[in-house]
């Protein structure tokens, strides 16, 4: 048989084999084939949630309580369509563009409703990636979703009063056996997901959820460390003396209040309304969990039984498969690489019509829950900055496996950074090292103040006063030196700034980029900001331990101090650059000796180097007022010496 004949024979055999394989696939039962066309549409994700909703309406105790008239407050049904399609201006964006978009909440790579579950869990990944596993295990990403018994900071006691308050991890009428997991860490808050995988936006009065007794009440559902430890009855009176609108009594906190100081109403308004929200439409987007269920029947059979649910968990928190896909490369490369990344949870946008009108290139803004940027908006804050436009991304600075460098249980966040500000901004670092008292701080103390909130707490957020619910680092960096302009503003057309409604508040853009105002950089109140705590409260009127004149209560005061530093530096720089132009022009026509010309050029180069350093630093004296002022004075001496040589009269020749 010739080589050509062999190839023809092989082709015939392969053709027969492929035909047989296709016939077998056609005869295979439907259950063995994919039930979902991938990639599914956004609407396809919404449709996937229907069976779970049907189960909950038939089995979740809320509906029994409701039927019996034992519910206080109106509960709205919050599903994937609301969260993923309509939320964040998605409906308005669709009207404008003709396409549906998940503007605010990004889809998880795979949901626990994708059955069979193909997750393998982080321990499996750790078999081959021990270094990455150890870093991840120490970080808050691993700890943000835990079983009740895993809360070592309270010894597993969900009813233990915390931080000298009466508030505990779980609210009234909810016990450890009633919940699937606890979400949160000692850094900010604790919330719960009940054993039907529904977000805990409620508490139970005069009874117990597991026993079906008492009344389900909207709100009063979440522990807040900020309220329990810092915004105590004594501290809020101090704030009220500065801002008379600030609440001092529990009932004055309005919708965010509860019946216990330290508990608040999140995803709810106290006793009036709440969201009935399955974890599939919200929680699992970021604070997620992974099961090993093989079928819908198996999943539904475990709902309502916390121990059975937990026995099927293979991962929880932000683990390997959140970014690398279910099973990662262990399932034939179906999830190899990075099908998701930091931006899924940390780039929450809203479509802003006014921003779109002002600049079609920047139509999105950061998502606000109230008057301050919400949690998870770090990426959207940075999106229009020069850093982002120059190619910087989260992993430029952050190690994604070790996002928490310090003890995860600490009140403060100290991330493990691959790159520090001074690695790129070397001149600014040189100036800052000469900055006196401020040099003991870090670049992030001023350029990354805590600006964002984890909550929807309009009653305690005062953006004009830079407080009092700030637990998330800003990622804007640029400080705008202005006596009045504010980073955060109400919607266009608002007649005042009285915080009557949180709707429409946004980060304001200057030349298409957001900025930090001086009150946020110098005068903020942020109890969870380690930089600020280490610096004796900086210049906060509430936190500061400095004398009264150094506690800044308004932006104009800060502006005047900054301008006092900048003015001599800016004026000196302007004088140096003007003199250098004069020196350059005079050198072209001067009749002085070559030796004198050389000296002039040496002086000019020294002055030019100083001017370049001043400009490259960019703070115009703020990083180091005395040092910068001294430098420009030296630069002026150099230009004055050069001009003196150029202006000398030529020597008269002797006869």
Would the annotation count 13 as a binding residue? no
Which two structure tokens, joined as six digits, stand for 139?
Answer: 């970080």
Phi and psi at 633, nearest 5°, equal: -65, -40
Residue 368 tokens, joined: 């606000």
- 329 contacts 335 by C-beta, under 8 angstroms: yes
On whether the CB atoms of residues 72 and 216 are closer than 8 A, the answer is: yes
Say how far apart CA 365 and CA 342 lie, in whole Å.
18
The neighbouring-strand residues paired with 510 are 513
60 labeled part of a ligand binding site: no
Beta bridge partners of 183: 145, 191
Residue 4 in marked binding region: no
The total of other beta-carbon atoms located within 10 Å of residue 39's CB is 6
**383 annotated to bind ligand:** no
Q: What three-state secondary structure class fits 183?
A: strand
* Measured distance CA(319)–CA(290) in Å, rounded: 9
Question: Residue 208 in contact with residue 172, Cβ under 8 Å?
Answer: no
Residue with tokens 């001149």: 427
β pairing state of 506-507 and 488-489: antiparallel
Angle between helix 555-589 and 594-617 (nearest 10) = 160
Has 411 been labeled as part of a binding site? no
Q: Are 122 and 141 in contact (CB under 8 A)?
A: no
Say whether 390 counts as a known binding-site residue: no
Answer for the pair 226, 527: CB distance below 8 angstroms, yes or no.
yes
H or E element at residue 291: strand 289-291
Three-state DSSP class for residue 229: helix
Going from the C-alpha of 634 to that of each of 427, 596, 603, 614, the distances in angstroms are 17, 20, 11, 12
Secondary element (H or E) of residue 451? strand 450-452
Collapsing DSSP to helix, strand or coil, 532 comes out as: helix
Q: Which two tokens stand for residue 303?
A: 């709902």
Query: Per residue in 198-216, is it b (16+ CB within 10 Å) or e — as a string?
Result: bbbbbbbbebebbeeebbb
Task: Provide the 10 A C-beta neighbour count for residue 508.
Answer: 16
Task: Answer yes or no: are the C-beta atoms of 569 and 431 closer than 8 Å.
Answer: no
Cα dist. 591→481, 579, 581, 600, 640 in Å? Answer: 46, 19, 18, 13, 18
Q: Give strand ranges (E) for 73-138.
A: 74-77
372 labeled binding residue:
no
312 annotated ligand binder: no
Annotated binding site: 125, 128-129, 141, 189, 266, 283, 286-287, 320, 323-324, 329, 342, 345-346, 348, 375, 387, 394, 397-398, 401, 421, 424-425, 438, 443, 446-447, 454, 475, 522, 538-539, 623
Annotated binding site for Cu(+): 375, 454
Annotated binding site for substrate: 189, 266, 348
Annotated binding site for heme c: 125, 128-129, 141, 283, 286-287, 320, 323-324, 329, 342, 345-346, 387, 394, 397-398, 401, 421, 424-425, 438, 443, 446-447, 475, 522, 538-539, 623
């Amino acid at each position: 048989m010739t080589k050509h004949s062999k190839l023809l024979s092989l082709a015939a055999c392969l053709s027969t084999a492929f035909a047989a394989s296709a016939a077998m696939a056609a005869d295979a039962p439907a259950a063995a084939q994919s039930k979902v066309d991938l990639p599914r549409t956004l609407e396809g994700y919404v449709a996937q949630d229907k069976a779970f909703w049907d189960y909950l309406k038939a089995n979740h105790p809320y509906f029994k309580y409701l039927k019996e008239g034992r519910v206080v407050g109106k509960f709205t049904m919050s599903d994937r369509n609301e969260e993923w399609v309509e939320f964040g201006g998605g409906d308005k964006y669709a009207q404008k563009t003709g396409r549906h978009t998940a503007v605010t909440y990004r889809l998880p790579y795979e949901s626990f409703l994708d059955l069979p579950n193909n997750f393998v869990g982080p321990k499996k990944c750790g078999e081959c990636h021990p270094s990455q596993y150890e870093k991840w295990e120490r970080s808050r990403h691993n700890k943000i979703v835990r079983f009740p018994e895993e809360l070592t900071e309270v010894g597993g006691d969900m009813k233990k009063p915390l931080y000298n308050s009466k508030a505990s991890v779980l609210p009234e009428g909810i016990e450890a056996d009633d919940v699937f997991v606890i979400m949160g860490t000692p850094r900010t808050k604790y919330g719960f997901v009940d054993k039907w995988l529904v977000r805990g936006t409620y508490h139970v009065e005069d009874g117990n959820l597991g026993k079906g007794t008492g009344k389900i009440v909207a709100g009063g559902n979440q522990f807040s460390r900020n309220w329990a430890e810092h915004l105590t009855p004594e501290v809020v009176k101090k704030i009220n003396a500065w801002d008379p609108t600030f609440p001092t009594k529990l009932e004055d906190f309005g919708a965010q209040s509860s019946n216990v100081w330290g508990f608040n109403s999140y995803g709810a308004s106290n006793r009036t309304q709440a969201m009935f929200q399955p974890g599939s439409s919200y929680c699992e987007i970021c604070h997620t969990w992974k099961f090993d269920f093989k079928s819908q029947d198996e999943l539904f059979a475990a709902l309502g039984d916390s121990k059975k649910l937990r026995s099927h968990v293979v991962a929880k928190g932000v683990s390997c498969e959140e970014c690398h896909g279910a099973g990662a490369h262990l399932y034939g490369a179906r999830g190899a690489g990075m099908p998701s990344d930091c931006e899924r949870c940390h780039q929450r946008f809203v479509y802003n019509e006014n921003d779109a009108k002002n600049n079609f290139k920047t139509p999105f803004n950061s998502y606000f829950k109230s008057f301050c940027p919400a949690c998870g908006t770090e990426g959207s804050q940075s999106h229009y900055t020069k850093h982002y436009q120059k190619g910087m991304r989260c992993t430029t600075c952050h190690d994604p496996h070790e996002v928490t460098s310090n003890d995860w249980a600490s009140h403060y966040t100290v991330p493990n950074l691959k790159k520090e500000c001074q690695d790129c901004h070397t001149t600014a670092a040189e100036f800052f090292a000469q900055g006196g008292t401020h040099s003991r701080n870090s670049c992030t103390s001023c350029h990354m103040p805590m600006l964002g909130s984890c909550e929807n707490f309009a009653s305690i957020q005062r953006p004009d006063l830079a407080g009092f619910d700030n637990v998330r680092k800003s990622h804007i960096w640029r400080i705008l030196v202005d006596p009045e302009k504010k980073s955060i503003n109400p919607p266009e057309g608002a007649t005042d700034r009285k915080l009557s409604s949180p709707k429409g508040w946004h980060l304001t853009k200057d030349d298409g980029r957001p900025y930090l105002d001086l009150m946020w950089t110098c005068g903020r109140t942020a109890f969870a900001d380690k930089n600020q705590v280490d610096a004796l409260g900086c210049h906060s009127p509430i936190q500061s331990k400095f004398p009264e004149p150094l506690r800044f209560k308004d932006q104009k005061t800060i502006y005047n101090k900054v301008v006092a530093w900048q003015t001599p530096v800016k004026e000196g720089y302007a004088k140096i650059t003007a003199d250098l132009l004069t020196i350059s022009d005079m050198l072209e026509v001067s009749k002085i000796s070559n030796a004198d010309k050389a000296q002039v050029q040496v002086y000019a180069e020294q002055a030019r180097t100083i001017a370049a350093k001043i400009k490259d630093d960019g703070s115009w004296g703020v990083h180091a007022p005395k040092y910068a002022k001294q430098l420009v004075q030296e630069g002026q001496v150099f230009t004055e010496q050069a001009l003196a040589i150029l202006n000398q009269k030529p020597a008269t020749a002797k006869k």
